[in-house]
Amino acid sequence: MPKQMLTRRLFLTGTLAALCTPSFVMPSHASSRNNYKLAAQKGKASLLEEGNLLTDVWAYNGATPGPVIRVKKGEEINIEVVNQLDQPTSVHWHGIRIDNTMDGVSNLTQEPIPPGGSFIYRFTPPDAGTYWYHPHNRTWEQLARGLYGALVVEGDAATGEFDRDYSIAADDWQLAESGAIREETLGSLRDWAHAGRLGNILTLNGKPYETLEGASGDRVRLRFINTANARIMRFGIKGHEPWLVALDGQPIPPTKLSETGITIAPAQRADLVFDVQGTSGDNVPIVETSGAETLVAGYLNIVEGSNRKIRTATPALKANKLPQPDLANATRLDLLMSGGAMRFLTQATYKGEEVDGRKLARTHRQLWAFNLQAGMADAPLFSAKSGETIVLKLVNETAWPHAIHLHGHHFRVLTKGPRSNGQLNPVLGEEEHAYRDTVLVERDEIIEIAFVADNPGKWMLHCHMLEHQASGMATWFEIV
């Protein structure tokens, strides 16, 4: 099976698009600083280089991505979500250690918002960093159609530390020549059984060639967010060696990257910092380097400016206060991931019944399982006491990578190793000091994560390859 390729045009053909001026997305209905209104509605987007070919999308306030929501750490925010779609929805604030009732998970933490209905989300983000928001009902469809946006929580850097601060929501779309979403690929069971639904068109911030601005010597912060349903992407800055300063919103000690950058699995974020080098008028390509061919995903257009000298270091971002796992007294649990193409389930529990693999797929569209349970069960995977440290051993017995996301908490990645010999080694490099909310578990890999279950409520744990989530890789736990 050939991997779905990103077929977008390369650098040399992109010069026209590169001349477009960058647009800043502002809250379109903000009545005061921390009050937002998000209408989930139908809209049109210009995703292709041929700017006249518009795509029918679902979008927050008519735009994909939706408005960049910026809030200060520790400040309350109110967001009224109005559902103008024909199907129920809800909004999840991915990565925010939030009050459980505001987590936005349809049928777990709230009733979905019916068409015509609305819901007010009110929360105070405890951590600064890069987060995002997206629907949590039929996410595989609603996200793919364009419902997502960046959520930036300020407070991890000194004022003026960055001359430019951009969020970049990276997405792949499955589009026909006409620009229309290829509807027949939504819900394709074949995609669900494989890597998930991969697109053929890459956009940054909903544009075929997003163009940011910076002057030579400017210190730039780029907040990459992988908003794709299933594609693992890798981003870098041509001719630059940025520092990686945060993963999934949480700071790490600045780590130098090469120009091929950093791998970002679905739902993950990576914050990059660098000083712009070049002469005004230049377009520095932002590159996607996961495939055999490097793709130009957008540009940083060098404008007239300070021409400050390039600096050789960057300070670490200010850390958030996160609870430290107590490994000596941890509760240890396994999460066995199974199913999918090449290693189909022979049997699993589904809604309280033992069902054979064939029937699971044909009748229930279930293809994957956690601990041989397909989909959400009535009972939680486990129940923890508030303050308890949980060590989860994620064992990927499938032939596919999975981006496992834990709601409401950030975790440490402790060890990794191949399933073949079971030898787990402490993680090194950028993940050593990271607190993540989503971790990529490769085929036949085992990863141990640890977190303090300190936030009471019902929390999901699922694969963020959204087709996998929809077809079985979803569970929940509770903290009492």
The contact set with ligand C2O (CB under 6 A) reads 92, 94, 134, 136, 267, 405, 407, 460, 462, 464
200 vs 320: CA distance, rounded Å = 37
Per partner kind, with CB cut-offs from 5 to 8 A, the member of ligand C2O, Cu ion, none near residue 465 is Cu ion
Q: How many of the other CB atoms lie within 10 Å of CB of 445?
A: 20
Q: Where are the alpha helices (DSSP H) in 53-114?
A: none
**111/293 with CB nearer ligand C2O:** 111
Residue 138's binding partner among ligand C2O, Cu ion, none (Cβ under 5 to 8 angstroms by kind) is: none
Under DSSP, the state recorded for 19 is G
Q: Which of residues 401-440 bind Cu ion (CB under 5 A)?
A: 402
CB closer to ligand C2O out of 308 and 458: 458
Give residue for tokens 């994957």: 368
Which residues are CB-neighbours of 265 under 8 A, at least 6 positions away?
A: 226, 232, 401, 403, 438, 439, 440, 464
Tokens of 455: 């936030």
Q: Would you say 207 or 402 has its CB closer to Cu ion?
A: 402
Q: From the DSSP assignment, how many helices (H) and strands (E) are in the chain?
A: 4, 33
Nearer to ligand C2O, 68 or 460 (CB): 460
Q: Which option in Cu ion, ligand C2O, none does residue 468 bind, with CB closer than 5 to 8 A by kind? A: Cu ion
Collapsed DSSP state (helix, strand, coil) of residue 368: strand
Give the residue with the Cβ less far from Cu ion, 151 or 348: 348
Q: How far is the CB of 110 from Cu ion (least distance, A)?
A: 24
Which of ligand C2O, Cu ion, none is residue 136 near (CB under 5 to 8 Å by kind)?
ligand C2O
Which of Cu ion, ligand C2O, none lies near 92, with the C-beta cut-off 5 to 8 A by kind? Answer: ligand C2O
User: Closest CB to Cu ion among 145 and 468?
Assistant: 468
CA distance 218 to 6: 31
**Closer CB to ligand C2O, 231 or 464, in the complex:** 464
The minimum distance between CB 364 and ligand C2O, in angstroms, equals 20
Residue 463 contacts which entry, Cu ion, ligand C2O, none (Cβ below 5-8 A, type-dependent): Cu ion
CA gyration radius for the chain? 21
Q: Which of 319, 449, 321, 438 is nearest to 389 (CA)?
A: 449
- Given a contact cutoff of 8 angstroms between Cβ atoms, the answer to whether 421 and 446 are in contact is no
DSSP 118-158: EEEEEE---S-EEEEEEE-SSHHHHTTTT--EEEEEE-SS-
Q: Pick from ligand C2O, Cu ion, none: which does 94 bind, CB < 5 to 8 A by kind?
A: ligand C2O
Query: Mask of contacts with Cu ion, 384-403, x by CB under 5 A?
Result: ------------------x-
**Count of residues near Cu ion by CB under 5 A:** 4
**Cα dist. 385→390, 456, 480 in Å?**
10, 8, 5
260-319 positions binding Cu ion, by CB under 5 A = none
Identity of the residue, 138 or 462, whose beta carbon is nearer to ligand C2O in the bound complex: 462
Strands ordered across the beta sheet of 55-60: 55-60, 35-45, 77-83, 118-123
Question: Phi and psi (nearest 5°) for 11?
Answer: -35, -60
Q: Which residue is nearest to ligand C2O (CB)?
A: 94
Which partner, ligand C2O, Cu ion, none, binds residue 145 by CB below 5 to 8 Å per kind? none
- DSSP characters over 308-330: PPPPS--PPPPPP--PPP-GGG-
460 binds, among ligand C2O, Cu ion, none (CB under 5 to 8 A by kind): ligand C2O
For residue 473, the minimal CB distance to Cu ion (Å) is 5
Q: CB of 67: closest distance to ligand C2O in angstroms?
A: 18
Residue whose CB is less far from Cu ion, 384 or 463:
463
> Taking CB under 5 A as the rule, which mask of x and - marks residues 438-477 in contact with Cu ion?
-------------------------x-x--x---------
Q: Which residues bind Cu ion (CB under 5 A)?
A: 402, 463, 465, 468
